[in-house]
Amino acid sequence: MLVAAGCAQRPVVPAAGAVPEPGWGESRPQPRREQRRQLVAHAERMLGQPYRYGGESPQQGFDCSGLVYFSHRQLGIELPRTTRDQRRRSRAVPVQALQPGDLVFFDLSDTKTRHVGIYIGGGRFIHAPTSGKRVSVSSLDNPYWRRHLAGAGSFL
């Protein structure tokens, strides 16, 4: 059983001259093109890793949002852990303007976003598909993925 609990904290006031820590979707300064290249490279290194619901590391395996979470963390980018929250908090990107490193979201069973992958260019994306499968590359031209594509976003 998973129990989520919130905690109230007093606001932290940074010391004079302190550099604030990055927030959701923020990272240390780095050219965006290089960040996108590195994000795709991190995700590509996970190709072949097993799917595991709730997994977010090479040791555990990955579910779809765990792969996105892990790949961004390798660049120091903090983002939500779940597909739903990744979609809600990402900056919307028109599907026609996808760039490597953007996220592609899919509605699989109803109107809720249930799946996410990392766009790598050429109409392809890396994702952790489902139980019994491994992290792999799929095409947005595949009729199944094209039919379920719900939108795109980015934390870069």
79-119 pLDDT tens trace = 999 999 999 999 999 999 999 999 999 998 776 779 999 99
Q: Return the beta strands (E) in 4-102 as ranges.
A: 56-57, 61-62, 91-93
Catalytic residue among 7, 42, 72, 115: 115
pTM over cut 0.85:
no
**How high is the pLDDT of residue 18?**
43
DSSP 23: -
Residue type, 151: G
Q: Which two structure tokens, joined as six digits, stand for 146?
A: 């094209």
64 is catalytic: yes
Domains delineated in the chain = 32-154 (3.90.1720.10)
pLDDT band at 150 (very low <50, low <70, confident <90, very high): very high
- Looking at per-residue pLDDT, the higher value among 74 and 27 belongs to 74
Q: At what angle do helices 32-45 and 64-73 cross, to 10 degrees?
A: 130
Q: What whole-number distance in Å separates Cα of residue 136 and Cα of residue 113?
A: 20
Catalytic residue among 7, 42, 127, 148: 127
**How high is the pLDDT of residue 5?**
31
**How high is the pLDDT of residue 9?**
33
